[in-house]
């Protein structure tokens, strides 16, 4: 992990860009953490890919988390942003968009082609990032994972024992084979569902919530469309992480 830039954003947050091998990432720490006696908990910020495009929303989430006393970090997804594209993934994405544009049901085979290789590639990268982040002074556990491609969150919650709570956004496609992984999750889950999200299959999201094996799992369904998560829903996510990571 190599830091490439550092800036003090407003609101008491130190923002540092880094690269992890070829993978760009960003780390935000509360400036109060530098003088804190104990290392601060870390929340990994998931996103749909494209750090530049997602930056304004990521930094808003990072600031909120810093105010609650958490460090946050994110890395670019395989095939997004400036990272090399995969022909197979690009083909799957094009097939998905064609089906959505035509108003057709999305074939499970397209979802598998799009999401499974992404999960297989991204999850080890997030785990490597976690190794590097937790070795930094001032950053400790417990670790949370928040938002982003829900299939990545599911796999991470199953395979990464250092993650002790996850806030998931039921807003993207999940291969049916991953429902079996969902049943093996035991950590507390907080799931956001935008009830009127036209690009999302509500019934599939409810089936997935039902499948999660966690004893503590909460679904918060709200209005406002895919990107219109209301502020009070963000407050509830913050409350969830404060309950479980502090």
Residues that bind its own copies (CB under 8 A): 195, 206, 209-210, 215-223, 230, 232-233, 235-236, 239-240, 243
Nearer to its own copies, 96 or 168 (CB): 168
Helical pair 108-134 and 150-159, crossing angle rounded to 10 deg: 50
Q: How many Å apart are CA 64 and CA 238, to the nearest integer?
A: 8
CB of 222 vs its own copies, minimal distance in Å: 5
Nearer to its own copies, 169 or 209 (CB): 209
Nearer to its own copies, 3 or 195 (CB): 195
**35 contact partners, CB below 8 Å, separation of at least 6:** none
Nearer to its own copies, 26 or 233 (CB): 233
Nearer to its own copies, 145 or 209 (CB): 209
**160 contact partners, CB below 8 Å, separation of at least 6:** 123, 126, 127, 130
Q: How many Å apart are CA 89 and CA 124, to the nearest integer?
A: 18
Output the DSSP codes for 61-84: HHHHHHHTT-EEEEEPPTTSTTSP
Pick from 168, 174, 119: nearest CA to 147:
168
**136 contact partners, CB below 8 Å, separation of at least 6:** 1, 27
Nearer to its own copies, 35 or 227 (CB): 227
CB of 15 vs its own copies, minimal distance in Å: 30
CB of 220 vs its own copies, minimal distance in Å: 6
CB of 224 vs its own copies, minimal distance in Å: 9
CB of 141 vs its own copies, minimal distance in Å: 22
Q: How many Å apart are CA 213 and CA 194, to the nearest integer?
A: 22
Q: How many Å apart are CA 192 and CA 147, to the nearest integer?
A: 9
CB of 198 vs its own copies, minimal distance in Å: 14
């Amino acid at each position: 992990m190599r830091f490439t830039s550092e800036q003090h954003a407003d609101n008491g947050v130190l923002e540092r860009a880094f690269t992890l091998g070829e993978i760009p990432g960003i780390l935000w720490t509360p400036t109060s953490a530098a003088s804190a006696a104990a290392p601060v908990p870390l929340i990994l910020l998931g996103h749909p890919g494209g750090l530049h495009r997602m930056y304004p929303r990521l930094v808003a989430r990072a600031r909120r988390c810093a105010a609650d006393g958490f460090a946050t970090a994110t890395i670019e997804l395989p095939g997004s942003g400036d990272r090399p594209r995969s022909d197979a993934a690009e083909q799957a994405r094009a097939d998905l968009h064609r089906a959505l544009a035509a108003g057709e049901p999305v074939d499970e085979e397209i979802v598998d082609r799009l999401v499974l290789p992404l999960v297989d590639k991204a999850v080890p990268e997030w785990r490597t990032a976690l190794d590097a982040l937790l070795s930094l002074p001032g950053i400790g556990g417990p670790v949370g994972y928040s938002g982003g491609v829900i299939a990545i969150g599911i796999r991470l919650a199953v395979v990464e024992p250092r993650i002790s709570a996850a806030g998931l956004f039921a807003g993207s496609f999940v291969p049916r084979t991953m429902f079996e992984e969902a049943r093996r999750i035991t950590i507390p889950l907080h799931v956001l569902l935008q009830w009127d999200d036209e690009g999302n299959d509500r019934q599939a999201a409810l089936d997935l919530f039902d499948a999660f094996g966690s004893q503590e799992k909460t679904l918060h369904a709200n209005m406002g469309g895919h990107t219109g998560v209301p502020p009070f829903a963000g407050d509830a996510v913050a409350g969830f992480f404060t309950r479980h990571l502090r």
